Structure 1
Amino acid sequence: MANFNTHLNGAFAVSGIAALTIYKTGLIDDSGFLMCVALGTIGGLLPDLDSDNSTPIKLGFNLASFMFAFGLVMHWRDELSLLALMALWLAGYGFMRYVVFYIFTTMTVHRGVIHSVPYMAILGLGLTCLSYFVMDNALTTSWFYGLFLFGGALVHLSLDELYSVNLSGMKMKRSSGTAMKFYQHRDKWWYLLLYAVLALLVYFAPPFEPFWEQVHDPAPWAQLRVGMLPNILEDYFR
């Protein structure tokens, strides 16, 4: 299985190259480029949320605990005393960081349903819906956001599968096939729920055809060919 740095660097590299290519076509703007790189990198860490000792889950719960405690304090700031707010802050942080974290790690198994393609597809499509319907982002931008998050997760799963091959002996390790999975019979009811949620998201998702037509428009890709190579190389190949 690939380690944290491998997942981080791999997702960042793939997302950066893909986002820069799309950016040069003009399909996304400056902020969209940065968001796509960030989302692709984050997606490359998401499948390890089911690992109790992974860096992403620790960082994620630390951040979530801080935000939860901050939200509690901001909500009650006008009604409670300073001492009560301090106690509320500590209680809120402790509840998220230790109680919720314990429940989450108890209920999840590493390389379980979270570490699967349909679960990552739900996160990507959910982000597309959130971006388009809630945040009022453009249709093309919203689809790119979801696709980059999902794509980063696929990079993670692919790296785990690649690392399950013993190249020196050309043998498959015991972990082979546990990363890039679409279904496991032992978790059939969880997968049934995943695919049901995924079907609902597909039904309510923003229209895909206009996005697909815009991506397939030859004009942006013709713009990409302009200035692809340094001038000295362009002159050489002419």
Structure 2
Amino acid sequence: MANFNTHLNTAFMVSGTMSLTIYKAGLLDDSGFLMCVALGTIGGLLPDLDSDHSTPIKLGFNITSFVFAFGLVMHWRSELSLLALIVLWLAGYGFMRYAVFSIFTNMTVHRGVIHSVPYMAILGLALTYVSYDILHLSLTVSWFYGLFLFGGALVHLALDEIYSVNLSNMKLKRSSGTAMKFYQHKDKWWYLLLYVILALLVYFAPPFEPFWQQLSDPAPWAQLKVGILPEMIKNMQR
């Protein structure tokens, strides 16, 4: 299994390269470019949320606990005294960081259903839905956000599968096939639930055809060639 730094760096490089290409094609603005890089990198860490001692899960729960406690204080700030707000802050943080974290880690098994393609597809589609229908972002940006989150997760799963091959004698390790999986019989009911949720998200997802038409239009990609050719000509004339 690849380590945290390998997942982080690889996801950042892949998402950065893809985002820059799309940005230069004019399909993303400055903020969209930065968000796609960030989402692709985050996606590259998501599958390890089911590992009790992984850096992503610890960091994720620390941030979530802070945001939860902050939200509680902001909601009750005008109704409670300073001392009560401090107690509420500490109680809210402790509840998320220790109680909820303990429940989550006890319910999940490393390389279980979370560490799978359908689970990551659900997260990607959910982000697309939230971006378009709730945050009211453009259709193009919404689909790119979901795809980059999903793509980063696929990079993570692919890396884990690559690391399951013993390159010295080209043998598969015992971990082979446990990373990028679509189904596991021992968790069949969980996978049934995943695919039901995935089917519902696909049905209610923002329209994909207009996004695909824009993506398959050769005009934006022609700009990349126009930008590259003058540099090649200049280099040849030197």
Paired AA for residue 205 in structure 1: A
CA RMSD in angstroms, aligned pairs only: 1.2
2:228 alignment partner, SS class: coil
Structure 1 match to 2:150: 150
Structure 2 match to 1:20: 20
Question: Where in structure 2 are the equivalents of 1:1-238 lying within 5 Å?
Answer: 1-228=1-228, 231-232=231-232, 236=236
1:169 to partner: Cα distance: 1.4
TM-score (norm 1): 0.97
Paired AA for residue 173 in structure 2: K
1:233 to partner: Cα distance: 5.2
**Partners of 2:137 and 2:231 in 1: how far apart?**
36
Q: 1:2 to 1:233 in 2, by over 3 A?
A: farther
1:231 to partner: Cα distance: 2.1
**Partners of 2:60 and 2:21 in 1: how far apart?**
30
**Partners of 1:234 and 1:148 in 2: how far apart?**
34
1:27 to partner: Cα distance: 0.7
**Partners of 1:11 and 1:228 in 2: how far apart?**
25
Paired AA for residue 200 in structure 2: L
**Partners of 2:227 and 2:74 in 1: how far apart?**
50
Deviations 1:5-56 (A, max 9, x none): 0000000000000000111110111111000000000000000000000000
1:79 to partner: Cα distance: 1.1
Paired AA for residue 197 in structure 1: I
**Partners of 2:153 and 2:231 in 1: how far apart?**
36
Q: 1:83 to 1:111 in 2, by over 3 A?
A: same
| Runs (5+) with no aligned partner, structure 1 | none
Paired AA for residue 170 in structure 1: M
1:228 to partner: Cα distance: 2.3
TM-score (norm 2): 0.97
Single out whichever of 133-142 and 228-237 deviates more from structure 2: 228-237
Deviations 1:111-156 (A, max 9, x none): 0000000000000000000000011111011000000000000000
1:230 to partner: Cα distance: 6.6
Q: 1:229 to 1:94 in 2, by over 3 A?
A: farther
**Partners of 1:112 and 1:233 in 2: how far apart?**
53
1:223 to partner: Cα distance: 0.9
1:49 alignment partner, SS class: helix
State the identity %: 81
1:232 to partner: Cα distance: 4.9
How many residues are aligned here? 237
1:226 to partner: Cα distance: 1.4
**Partners of 1:224 and 1:66 in 2: how far apart?**
43
